[in-house]
Structure 1
Amino acid sequence: MTVQMYLARRRQFEIGLCILFLFVLWLVQFTVVYLEHLGAESRFKPWEFLVWEGTSILVVGLLFPLILIWDRRFPLSKETLARHLFIHLLLTLPWSLLHVVAMVALRTAIYYLEGGSYNFGHWGIEFFYEYLKDFRTYGFLLGAVYLYRFLLRRIQGESLEPPDEGRPKDSIERPERLLIKKLGKEFLVNVRDIEWVEAAGNYVNLHLGDRIYPLRDTMAKLLERLDPDDFVRVHRSYIVRLDSIAEIVPLESGDARICLKGGQQIPVSRRYRDLLRTQLRSA
């Protein structure tokens, strides 16, 4: 599999890898807990261990997107590390509370269907115990997200050092090229080669085929520098080159999905859907 093939179906691969990881983790943790009770006199049945570990991991998987949302709102960068890291530490508390409540609710329902009852124990003591585990889990998942992004940039040959230090550059009139730092050098990227743009905290990622170039700028300021006849904003986090669009798929929610010629799929929010239609008609 090439990098380009992976990027064309990146979201599908990421979801599949997450599901596979959680499934393997479920089996591993069940095996560990089961073996711990195997040698001793235990009043629990094997299916109970499966339920305990399974409900916990299932809820972690369902809550994982919440970490991504919070990371988008409070990204860990050089300028905001101390402040945003403290915010993430605070967010571990509601995240753990949601995990424990949902986990106990699922276990209670399963035991009820089995004809029994589930006893979580003393809520104060048990929640403190679960919070200590959730604190580590939250940190592990957040760290895994940044490690994954780091490795993805390395695979694509991107620079390890932050691109374009300092404040975002002032707007200029329709540049034909953008100055990008990559591999410790400065390169000029042709604007006409940009297929789509994605917001990434204090940066924007310029997508050119299977290459990604990070640029320190905001979506609004970058859009001012791009030709409106060629580029359109379709989401608060996405800008698309009109010539890169293969098809637009309407969704029942009122949103839409853009399929690019390179195979990528970009969400279109209702807020920008009419603007996209207008620019396509005038193109």
Structure 2
Amino acid sequence: MAVATAVLAVILLVNALNVVHERQRAGLATPFWQPALWEVSSGVVFVSLAPLMLWLTRRAWPLARPRLPRLAIHLAAAVGVSLVHVVAIGIMRWGVYALVGDHYDPWSPLTDWPYELRKDLVVYAAVVAIYVAWRRLRAGPPAAAGQPPDVLEVRDGARRHFVPLIDVVWVEAAGNYVELHRGGTGLLHRASLSEMQRRLQGAGFVRIHRSRLVRREAVAAVESKPTGDFVVRLRDGRELAGSRRYRRPLLAD
């Protein structure tokens, strides 16, 4: 938020100075407060909408696959943000002009929406790009090819948990989430089990059920059933059900 606000502030200041300069060259005397108001009102609206834009970016991460549906979501969101933006700035400017005894048509930005939309698409893309770059910078350098992460970042509302991978005993599907089991506690993480299986490839985890991964080192015994299914007994005494289709990968060297 701070980085996006600082970038917007610089852009808006330059825009306001450009408007004053261009109008002076055209022989139109314009007090600085008017273009400053036009730009500041835009900045206030975008900063107010930024948390929603960042939330959507986390939910539809632009770099994740498949990319086309995610880009379509962001395009639709950008159009919606632009529509809210032009309506809100018209009302804000109308109110300030009224306070100083002047007049501003609150619907004039909306009548010029195609022009505003082009600018708003650029601002939306810039905010998303800054956020993606900031998240990638905080995450540090990517793991080498074929190497799983040492720590999993798990979001829990406004909080973040950094879970050492070595503490995770098994991973279980839970709707749109997976539950990371560490000792006697579980922690929900928004991801699919297939995604977690790809991320943990090479970290010693093996799939034993369509809804369950387990760390191979945590397995103490495997008990077969007449149906071909099996039960995995962990070193701490807990038992997990396994499906026969995943028996071979578990017992493979």
Q: TM-score, normalised by structure 2?
A: 0.60
Aligned match of 1:207: 162
Q: How does 1:259-270 map to 2 (within 5 A)?
A: none
Aligned counterparts of 1:21 and 1:197: Cα–Cα separation in 2? 29
Q: How does 1:94-173 map to 2 (within 5 A)?
A: 94-119=80-105, 125-153=111-139, 156=140, 158-159=141-142
1:104-127 deviation line (CA, Å, top 9, x unaligned): 111011001111111256566411
Shift in CA distance, 137/73, structure 1 to aligned 2, threshold 3 Å: same
Contact 1:92 1:138 in 2 (8 A): yes
Aligned-residue RMSD, C-alpha: 3.4
Aligned counterparts of 2:99 and 2:184: Cα–Cα separation in 1? 58
Shift in CA distance, 108/217, structure 1 to aligned 2, threshold 3 Å: farther
Q: Does 1:198 align with 2:155?
A: yes
1:134-167 deviation line (CA, Å, top 9, x unaligned): 11211222222222223333xx3x31xxxxxxxx
Aligned counterparts of 2:134 and 2:173: Cα–Cα separation in 1? 23
How far apart are residue 232 of structure 1 and its match?
Answer: 5.3
Aligned match of 1:251: none
Q: How does 1:73-92 map to 2 (within 5 A)?
A: 73-92=59-78
Aligned match of 1:226: 182
Q: Does 1:18 align with 2:27?
A: no
- Higher radius of gyration, 1 or 2: 2
User: Where in structure 2 are there 5+ consecutive unaligned residues?
Assistant: 165-170, 192-253
Aligned residue identity for 1:207: F
User: Where in structure 1 are there 5+ consecutive unaligned residues?
Assistant: 1-14, 160-181, 210-215, 238-283
Aligned match of 2:209: none
Give 3-state SS (helix, strand or coil) of 2:154's partner. Answer: strand
Q: Does 1:28 align with 2:11?
A: no
Q: TM-score, normalised by structure 1?
A: 0.54
Q: What is the number of residues matched between the two proteins?
A: 181
* Higher RCO structure (Cα 8 Å, ≥6 apart): 1
Shift in CA distance, 59/188, structure 1 to aligned 2, threshold 3 Å: closer
Shift in CA distance, 217/42, structure 1 to aligned 2, threshold 3 Å: farther
Aligned match of 2:231: none
Aligned match of 1:65: 51
Aligned residue identity for 2:155: E
Shift in CA distance, 96/77, structure 1 to aligned 2, threshold 3 Å: same
